[in-house]
Amino acid sequence: MCGVSDGSGASDPTGGDADPANPTVFTRIIRGELPGRFVWRDDDVVAFLTIAPIRPGHTLVVPVAQVDRWTDLDPATWARVCEVQFHVGRALQVAFAPGRVGSIIAGMEVPHCHVHLVPIDVEQQLSFALADPDTPAGELDEVAERIRAELRAAGHAGSVPTD
């Protein structure tokens, strides 16, 4: 079950302090109210491209449950986020052949837990100052398809959206 643990072993699927009346931009993307370039979608976790990538392939891995801090996720949901970031990270490694795939948990701009996966060759490339909000839509579409193709090739077709 997605949600927040209260320490009792029970889970709060609303996301604890999340306000369902005020969905985050990520919740609105997940619901289809705003566009998103999804590369992974299952019942608990999604992954989609950021609209301002630090580097080509910059992907966000996000639990479906609207939970602000990763430390507030129940352990099973956090484990699923980690599993998805592992699969997407491997796809990024194959698709872009970087020196590494960096991983950042920051969460300061959107109060909805998310992990940034960024193909990098040097650590200095893990800087939000490098984000490009003017990346052409066609380039983002091509990048998303490269990642989807690698995920399908790795046997994850059931979780890879067609567009």
pLDDT at 20: 66
On whether residue 112 sits in a domain, the answer given is yes
On whether residue 148 sits in a domain, the answer given is yes
Q: Which two tokens stand for residue 57?
A: 């392939």
Task: Tally the domains of the chain.
Answer: 1
DSSP class of residue 112 equals: S
On whether residue 163 sits in a domain, the answer given is no
Burial class of 137 by CB neighbour count within 10 A (0 to 12, 13 to 18, 19+): exposed
**Cβ density class 119-132: b for 16+ within 10 Å, e for less:** bbeeeebbeeeeee
Mean pLDDT, each 10-residue run in order, the chain (163 residues) = 35 48 94 97 98 97 96 97 98 98 93 97 96 97 98 98 85
Residues 6+ apart with CB under 8 A from 73: 3, 4, 5, 63, 65, 67, 81, 113
CATH code of the domain containing 50: 3.30.428.10
The pTM (predicted TM-score) of the whole model is: 0.88
Domain range holding 34? 4-158
Closest CA to 77 of 159, 4, 158, 10: 4
